[in-house]
Structure 1
Amino acid sequence: MRQIALQSFFVFTLRILAAVPLAVLAASCAWGQAQPAQIAVPGHTVEVTPLPPKAFPTPKRLPLEVDTEAAETFVRLGFGLFLPGGKNFQSTEFLTPLLSTEQAAHLVELVPEYRTFRGKAVAEAIRRLSGWVSGVQFGREGAPVVYIELPYWTDQREGPVTVGTGARISDEENAKFVEELRAVFVGQLGAEEFGPDRIRKRLIRIWWHG
């Protein structure tokens, strides 16, 4: 009986989809349409209520801000007993989404030290990148790891979303900036591994040995 009921449901659904012209359905779902649209189907009425434009807010800044409290909890769980007051639980492999330099620096400061890693000093270096990078990720790959995403265009740098296209950042200019990052994170902050991702060449990975 259950199989027959499921078959009947699928047949009913396919009949409805076949009876609704795709162009009409697409038009009824257009943004900005205030009233629900009714579509006639033989023996049935299908009502489509489009979501208002405010349901898809346009970001005013990039990268998108995350919930600070949730992010703190995420990092505290990941580092566990390595943090003051940490719990007997940890994850040796985790990574935040792309964050602003300020939010990333705040999370880095939660880790006072991890062998050669010094959270406060690393956080200060990240804050100095404000307005120059697209964003920063922080987490663990055994030991602390930082990923810095570098932009291809000036309008891809973190900050207010701008109208129009920015200026392209050349490979030469980017390479110079990468060497400046190396001087800080390797030369001053003791990172043992530093370099671009194998596929995403403007994503810089910085890692401190555990």
Structure 2
Amino acid sequence: MTSIAIVEYGMGNYHSVERALRHAAPEADITLTGDPEIILKAERVVLPGQGAMGDCMRTLEQAGLVEVVLEVSRNKPLLGICVGEQMLFERSEEGPTQCLGLFPGDVRRFRGELFDSAHTGVDRLKVPHMGWNAVRQCREHPMWAGIEDLTPFYFVHSYYVHPEDPSLTVGETDYGVTFTCAVARDNIFAAQFHPEKSADPGLRLYRNFVDWKP
């Protein structure tokens, strides 16, 4: 039985993630926890995130889980979701805030003419980016197994990651700009979209995480 710890630190859509994981992998031992010992013993770890980056990093630190997440990132499959993806990078414009620094790059807000409040055309884009959007798979990865290229996933966000290393990008989406929406390296996979809100494709992604052997 695969053991999976969902890192609970006060800033995430935890119960929706837990329900989706249980549905995708009913045989797995899934624990929603802020206990460092349980997280470190789990075979796989999920890092959700929701809300402002500064609040997420502060509450993760207050919960004593920064070093735990860094340790997990070195030796077991780790799945970051939404702000949980953004936290893996060096810094965010939101705040600004220093992040975990696992990946080189930063987190940027949607900006440009199409997002400007002074832009009155019918093509003006709202921030946050909210709703279904197609994900372009930039390269093959086991986490994409059984998921067709350009499958729509559900997004809710105002910021997006900008990796310094293009090889980190495994998925991208268009919303006024083309932005990275999924990254991967070694035992880490992270996505800006919400698999738990993305119907069958999201459940398949969670199933793939349970089966993934980095």
TM-score w.r.t. length of structure 1: 0.25
Q: Which has the higher strand share?
A: 2
Whose RCO is larger (CA < 8 A, sep 6+)? 2
TM-score w.r.t. length of structure 2: 0.25
